[in-house]
Each structure stands twice: as C-alpha cells, then as structure tokens.
Chains A and B, each alone.
Chain A
C-alpha cells in the first residue's frame, strides 16, 4: 500500500462536475506536481485532500489510515480537525494573519493545539511554549527569514510572506505538505525564492504535492507529474515521461502553449 492513496474522487458544485474520478497514489518522500489549465480541477482536488471541500464520493488514506471515505457517515468537526492535520496547505494568497508578527503566525496553531484545554502546570506550559517558539524560529530559519521574526506580514514582500506561510504549515509537522499555486500571486522576480525553499524541503525527505504553473519547476523538482484536464487525470508519470514524451494530445497541446508563454 502506498503512503497516500486517493481513490475515485468525484466532486460537483451544483450541476458542474469538477472532479470526475481521480485516482493516484504517492510514496513517502515523493514530490508530486499537478499541472493543467485553469478550471481543470487541480485546486479543487487539493482542497478535497485538505478537507476544505468534501468529495461526493471517494476515499483518501495516508499511511494505511483511511481519512476520508464517502461510504462512512459525515465526520464531525472534531474528527475533521484531527484528520486534516495529516496535511498542510500553503495558499496561493498566503493568508497570513495580519495582526500577528511572523513568529506568532508560525507558533499560533501549535500553541492552540498543545496548550489550550489541557491541564498543565505553569512550568509545563512555559516549557511547551518555549519549545514551540524554538521550533518556529528554526523553521523560519529554514525558509531564510530568521531576521524577520518580529516583523508583521504587511512589512514583508510577497515572496517573504509566502515563505512565512510555508513555515507556518510546517509547524504542525504534516505528513504531506500541499501547495496551491504558491507562486501565482507573486511578482515574477519573487517566485525564485519561494521555489528555492520548496526545492530545499525536498531534500529533507518531505512528501509534497505542488499545484503549479511553473513548468520548469515541475520538471526539475517533481518525482511524479500529473496533468489534469476537465476533471480527470489525463497523464501521469515521471517528469521525463510527461514533459519528454506525452502520450495524450491534450497534454501535448497544453505543454506547447505553456512553453510559448512561460
């Protein structure tokens, strides 16, 4: 059994069928790039995996644990919260919390998880807080922002904000880190720093799914590539297979167009 298994995901919004039967699997430590034109269902797929949308049918499992199965009764909010923590998500628009400084953006969620509602002595709380702070600083160092811990998001460039968002997603140590077009909202000169950080995470054995329009990045960094079109996986394979020798006509024409307007 693979680390991540996605089976037969269907999702409609009203009468619009967005996902029409998605199946794929990933191994631990793999980086998967999902490419495809706008409206092909890439983002919806990622949102289904992160429990922001509920698939109409299908099954999702990580490391043998079934996290979603449409045959089971709907999950409670508390169940969903536990399940979704197997995944982290970095948004296209960063969605940092503007009122908190960079460090607090990263440490807020771990603090809420590990301290709120638990019976802990003051010293225990202090100890945990310190660990979380240290870990947050370490993560911010990993994304190259150790000098910005006290700044507010509005004081950072888009690229820096997105790197904070990556550190924030890592802070809960998810099994699989997802990126929803992480560079699409950035000025062209800022995409490099974000892609570099993602590339560096790969070497640390992270399992990642990256929805992206950056073909060079997909080709250079991903272990596997999925090309989506009209709600189905049109092509799946290694970057060399998908970019070098695409089988489907749709993939070919998409790649031709993307290379014309990189």
Chain B
C-alpha cells in the first residue's frame, strides 16, 4: 500500500475527526454557558440538579457515555436507533458542555464584585452588566484553560472508534488489520500534532489580542 493510498484513507478518517471536533466545539461553547447559569442559579432545585448532572458527566469516562448513549436506548427496548456518529456527537457535546461550564463558572466568579456594583450604580440592567462588562473580562481570563480543554478535545475524538465510527485512529486500525503494516499509526500522530499546533497558534494569537489591557 503506497504512502498516498494511506494518506487518502487517513484523510477520510481525519475528516470525521474534524467533524466531531467542530460540531462539539460549536455546540458546547454556548451550551456550556447555559449550564453555568444553571449551576450558578439562585433557585436551589435548578442549581442542584445542574450540579449533580455536571458531577455525573465529569465523574464518568467519556467512553462509557458514548457507549451508553449508543446502546442504552436499545437495551431499554426503546424504539430509537441513533446513527453512530449522532450518538458520538451527543455524548461529546454533553461532556464538553459540562467541562466548559465549570471553566466559565470559575471565570465568572473571578470577576470582582466591584465590577457588578459599578454597573449597578450606573443604572445598568443585569443583562447589560453581564454582556457589556463581565463577559469580555471572563473570556480573557478563560482563554488559557479553554485552550487546554480544546486541545484535549482534539485527541478525545479518537474515543469515537469505540462504537466503530471511522475517525482517524479507526481509519489507521483498519489499514493495519488489513495490510499488516504498523507505520500508519505514527503517521496518525503527525495529523494530531499538526492540528494541535495550528490550534495552539490560534489560541496564542487570541490571548495576545486580548492582552491590550491587564487585569
């Protein structure tokens, strides 16, 4: 099997990897914020239900969650059969929303009370205070931990192969089992490395952009 054949097959897998990565990121970033509002809610039931949910999701392996979401409905005799990729996406979005929500919460709680009070005495509404004053400061503070989480997501996409979604690692495994060659596995590493290098570059750029002020 030539280098180009391997590249083409791996590229197909990498396409799935990118798809999982992109959709998870796009959905989890806003969904995480909603979960944050839940866990910071002043209404105890909402707060505690959200906190327990986050605890369960963060306290169990993502791989288990993928398996449960894919096989769970069938085992319960429900009449739903989720496509494999959909099951993976649901598990990833839920999982990453919970992680992001905790990062958001840390960021929001790190903003001093004085910022809120300054907004209040200037007659701003709660929404204005959040979107005009607090949010940007939170974003600036959470870029480093979010970057960590996003880089982790790149590699976590390989968990999708547990229910036979043909992402990058699965694509390599297929080549290995059919052709009996090992080197594509190293090649796979290069894909991940290049992609995370690109992300690191983008994240550093964002961090620098926001460094026009300190504090």
Contact = CB atoms under 8 A, between A and B. Distances in A.
A112 B215 contact: no
B133 to A, nearest CB: 6
A82 B212 CA distance: 34
Nearest to A52: B117
Contacts of A172: 122-123
Given A98-B215, A154-B213, A109 B117 contact: no
A6 interface: no
A95 B213 contact: no
B152 interface: no
A81 B115 contact: no
A50 B121 CA distance: 7
B201 interface: no
Interface stretch (A85-93, A118-126, A215-223): A85-93
Interface in A95-143: 95-99, 108-109, 112-113, 116
Contact of B122 (A98, A109, A154): A109
Contacts of B118: 91, 95-97
Interface string B126-157: 10100011001100100000000000000000
A155 B215 CA distance: 11
Contact of B215 (A81, A87, A89, A154): A154
Contacts, number: 63
Contacts of A77: 125-126
B213 A84 contact: no
Q: Which of A87, A108, A169 has the most CB of B within 10 A?
A: A108
B214 interface: yes
Contacts of A96: 118
Contact of B114 (A91, A108, A152): A91
B123 A113 contact: yes
Given A99-B213, A154-B213, A154-B214, A88 B121 contact: yes
A98 B120 CA distance: 16
B114 A81 contact: no
A109 B115 contact: no
Interface in B181-215: 212-215
A213 interface: no
A153 interface: yes
Interface string A59-82: 000000000000000000100011
A188 to B, nearest CB: 22
B80 interface: no
A153 B123 contact: no
A168 interface: yes
Contacts of A109: 122-124
Interface in A171-190: 172
Interface in B8-53: none
Q: Which of A50, A77, A87, A97 has the most CB of B within 10 A?
A: A97
A243 B120 CA distance: 35
B132 A112 contact: yes
A105 B120 CA distance: 14
A187 B132 CA distance: 30
Contacts of B140: 99
Contact of A84 (B121, B125, B128): B121
Contacts of B124: 81, 109, 112
B213 to A, nearest CB: 5
Contacts of A84: 120-121, 123
Contacts of A168: 122
A95 B215 contact: no
B126 A95 contact: no
Contacts of B215: 98, 153-154
Given A98-B214, A112-B128, A91 B117 contact: yes
List the 10 closest A-B pairs by CB distance, nearest first: A109-B122, A95-B114, A95-B118, A98-B215, A89-B121, A152-B213, A154-B214, A85-B123, A99-B136, A81-B123
Given A81-B125, A98-B213, 15 more contacts: A51-B121, A52-B120, A77-B125, A77-B126, A81-B124, A84-B121, A84-B123, A88-B121, A95-B114, A97-B133, A98-B214, A99-B213, A112-B132, A152-B213, A172-B123
Interface of A: 50-52, 77, 81-82, 84-85, 87-89, 91, 93, 95-99, 108-109, 112-113, 116, 152-154, 168-169, 172
